[in-house]
Chains A and B, each alone.
Chain A
Amino acid sequence: MTEIHLKNVHKAYGELEVIHGINLQVQTGEFCVFVGPSGCGKSTLLRIIAGLEGITSGTVEIDGSVVNDVSAAERGLAMVFQSYALYPHMSVYKNMAFGLENSKMPRAQIDERVRNAAELLQITDYLDRKPKALSGGQRQRVAIGRAIVRDPKAFLFDEPLSNLDAELRVVMRKELSALHAKIGGTMIYVTHDQVEAMTLADKIVVLQKGIVEQVGAPLELYNRPCNAFVAGFIGSPRMNMFEGHAVRDAAGLAISIEGLRLDLSDLPSIKDGDKLTIGIRPEHIAVHADGLGELTTTVKVTEQLGGETYLYCDAPGLPQITVHQPGQLPIVKGQALSLSFSRAQMHVFDATGKTVANGLTV
């Protein structure tokens, strides 16, 4: 069982710094997911842990030992690559056995490990095949099998599902989750897909431009984002964001966004005139068929998915509002729609994007 600890890790390519002092602890047996947009440094961070990239400063510790100068092989980690990185000229069996042969393990033991892993991943029937004779999902399993046979301290996954089609991705996601439950190793997983992150992770690390924005359990990030970036990144469709200024009126401090008044009197840190952003997720907006909501909008696009409905509505002076409703709604494009917003589910961000409140009480 393995614990990985990054302390003030910096990484620069010449003048260009891509990782800016990251501190992070991945606990034993944890499924930790690095998520962020393209170029945020998540793959670089994974490669740093793997030992495939050096660091400019800071320390990387595995089980309490600093491994900055320890080679990738000696770190005892196994990595599953985005491209699978299977040796095309070797059979599935040879691919899985190759790493073990390097360590001069007895042949019988290698055979046992390969066959056990193949059974676990249900690829026993393909052991004699070459990778090109396998489907994407089967190749993915072989790549995971190659990692499992080494009995590594921790598994590192670099966007392993991104080459699969949507349906297979869902299947593999479930299998990965089941695999983690079965073998219980420490796993670090990189993805840009926040659905993957939410469904797989014990802990999510949200990265942006080489810094950690927030670390936490999936629902913690969803319910209590620490800034507007995390709030926007976690959750699909994105959180609706409205900008405005705090104004003190006769009833107290409030923000008024195109006629929508939100009381801020229970937020002492906000002052008159502060620029604020109000965020609310699509599922926290209610639709009023009787027209008695707070804001009247015009439906521009409807997406009827059968079990749920997405509505994209325009209101004067506001960015397009996304509304999520369960079930099927008989709403058509161009229809007027009255909406109301749950104060308890609203998020308030200051001018720098930092969260001021997750939920208003009034």
Chain B
Amino acid sequence: MARVYDKPQTTGEALTHVAATPVRVLFRLLDYPMSAIQRLLGIGGMPWLFLLPNLVFFGMFVVIPLFLNFAYSLTGGTALFLSDRPFVEGEQYGFLFDCENYADPLSCREDRFWKGIFNTAIFIFFQVSFMVLFSLITALVLNREIRGRGFWRAVFFFPVLLSPVVVALIWKWILLRDGILNAFLVSIGLERILFFVSPDWAMFWAVFVSIWAHMGFYMLILLAGLQAIQPDLYEAAEMDGTSKERVFFRITLPLLWPNMLVVIVLALIKGVQVFDEVYVLTGGGPGTATQFIVQYIYNTAFTNQVQNFGLASAASMVLGGVLFVLTLTQLAATRRRDNA
């Protein structure tokens, strides 16, 4: 292949030559300042130069807010600016954790925080369990030679592409008092169900909609894991007369386990962070039946009559700590998968 600065021999090469001219000019222009910078910084300093733009953004939008958040969590009052807020040490944390009995949210001074934690725990328990189960079943089915496999894979993945607000609005439209589901129930002679009035139904639909919206992503990870298992292993098992159940529990599941672990931890992290879908779907109601920890933080900081930034920041730090532990677990799980 001709280099761009060789004399072009054919029409194709001439076109390539013309097309490459701006790039060549750009490289020449960049060459002088970059050489000067390299002389200044040395070769060892150059990687930092290339990392700088990302570090600036990461610092501005992650590190500085994190420290600001921590600083706010040590202050009280209702003033917006940090400089106007009185320093209260760990008072906000003390307030959050002031409980007679941690198993009973109502015994806590900030019962809404603990209610949020309990709701989130219940949500995570059901959402993660059923999410992993359904993702696994779907991946197993879509890994088989079934008709229209590509189509079904797309169908199950499609909700992942939707915005959480769109997902919630679609389901709200289905589940409202006059929604399609109730219209259907009435049409077959059943009673209307007020899904968003019953705490159990509201929690059920919060879990269901969340699974519907995110299952495709986890299914894809498991499907990739299933496809990475050598078909020869199944044939060897077949030659050995291994039953289907034993193949699943002794071969498929152990080999898929690293992927399962990644899925479980990722689903846990997403579960802890749940907010937008449920906020649009139920608004946290009825009462506080579907109010999760992130919504508690949001309400405390922005929508309550008294905007308590200090308390919200302290709750954020607690949530951040939980997510940090889960993220470390996820990294360990990913490493284990890659080394498997």
> Are chains A and B native binding partners rather than an unrelated pairing?
yes
Stretch from B61-69, B116-124, B235-243 forming part of the interface with A: B235-243
A82 to B236, CA, bound (A): 11
User: Does B235 contact A81, Cβ atoms closer than 8 Å?
Assistant: yes
Whether the Cβ atoms of B239 and A77 lie closer than 8 Å is yes
Docked complex Cα distance between A81 and B241 (Å): 16
Once the chains bind, are A73 and B235 in contact (CB under 8 Å)?
A: no
Q: Is the Cβ of A52 less than 8 Å from the Cβ of B238?
A: yes
A219 to B237, CA, bound (A): 38
Contacts of B243 in A (CB 8 A): 102
Looking at B241, B242, B243, which has the most chain A CB atoms within 10 Å of its CB? B241
Which of B148-156, B248-256, B302-310 forms part of the interface with chain A? Answer: B248-256
Instruction: Let me know if A344 is at the binding interface, CB within 8 A.
Output: no
A residues less than 8 Å from B241 (CB atoms): 71-74, 99, 102-103
**Stretch of A83-91, A278-286, A297-305 contacting B (4+ beta carbons < 8 Å):** A83-91
Whether A98 lies near B233 (C-beta < 8 A) is no
The contact sample of 28 A-B pairs, CB cut-off 8 A, is: A52-B235, A52-B238, A71-B238, A71-B241, A72-B239, A73-B238, A73-B240, A73-B241, A81-B232, A81-B235, A81-B236, A82-B232, A85-B230, A85-B235, A88-B255, A89-B255, A89-B340, A98-B237, A98-B242, A98-B250, A99-B239, A99-B242, A102-B240, A102-B241, A102-B243, A102-B246, A103-B241, A150-B240
Query: Per-residue 0/1 for A4-33: is the Cβ within 8 Å of any B Cβ (1 yes, 0 no)?
Result: 000000000000000000000000000000
Q: Give 8 nearest A-B pairs by CB, closest first.
A: A73-B241, A99-B240, A85-B232, A85-B236, A89-B254, A81-B232, A83-B232, A72-B238
CB distance from A80 to the nearest CB of B (A): 9
Whether a CB of chain B sits under 8 angstroms from the CB of A78 is: yes
Q: Is A60 among interface residues, defined by CB-CB distance under 8 A?
A: no
Residues of chain B within 8 A (CB-CB) of A99 are 239-242
**Which chain A residues in 56-105 approach chain B with CB under 8 Å?**
71-74, 77-79, 81-83, 85, 87-89, 98-99, 102-103
A72 to B237, CA, bound (A): 10
C-alpha gap A293/B6 in the complex (Å): 54
CB of A212 within 8 Å of the partner chain: no
Chain B residues in 8 Å Cβ range of A81: 232, 235-236
Cβ contact within 8 Å between A79 and B255: no
CA distance A83 to B236 in the complex (A): 11
* Other A-B pairs, 4, CB within 8 Å; known A52-B238, A102-B242, A102-B243: A52-B239, A82-B232, A89-B340, A102-B241
- List chain A positions with a Cβ less than 8 A from chain B: 50-52, 71-74, 77-79, 81-83, 85, 87-89, 98-99, 102-103, 146, 150
CA distance A78 to B241 in the complex (A): 11
Number of interface residues of B (CB under 8 A): 18
User: Can you name the residue of chain B whose Cβ is closest to the Cβ of A156?
Assistant: B239
CB of B251 to closest CB in A, whole Å? 6
Q: Are A83 and B230 in contact (CB under 8 A)?
A: yes
Query: Residues of B contacting A50 with CB < 8 Å?
Result: 239
Closest residue of chain B to A83, judged by CB?
A: B232
Q: How far is the CA of A52 from the CA of B249 in the complex (A)?
A: 22
A89 to B246, CA, bound (A): 15
A51 to chain B, nearest CB (A): 8
> Given the complex, which residues of B lie within 8 Å of A150, measured CB to CB?
240
Q: State A316–B308 Cα separation when bound (angstroms).
A: 98
Q: Which of A71, A74, A87, A103 has the most CB of B within 10 A?
A: A87
Would A79 and B239 be within 8 Å (CB), given that A85-B230, A85-B232, A87-B233 are in contact? yes
- Distance to closest chain A CB from B181 (angstroms): 45
- The CA of A72 and the CA of B239, in the complex, are separated in Å by 5
Shortest beta-carbon distance, B145 to chain A, in Å? Answer: 13
Query: Distance in Å from the Cβ of B255 to the closest Cβ of chain A?
Result: 6
Task: Name the A residues within 8 Å of B238 (CB-CB).
Answer: 52, 71-73
Q: Taking the nearest CB of chain A, how far is it from the CB of B285, in angstroms? A: 47
Rounded to whole Å, the gap between the CB of A140 and the closest CB of chain B is: 14
Bound state CA distance, A83 and B232, in angstroms? Answer: 7
Q: Which of B211-262 contact A (CB under 8 A)?
A: 230, 232-233, 235-243, 246, 250-251, 254-255
Which B residues are CB-close (under 8 A) to A73?
A: 238-242
- Name the A residues within 8 Å of B255 (CB-CB): 88-89
Chain B residues with CB under 8 A of A98: 237, 240, 242, 250
Residues of A within 8 A of B233 (CB): 85, 87
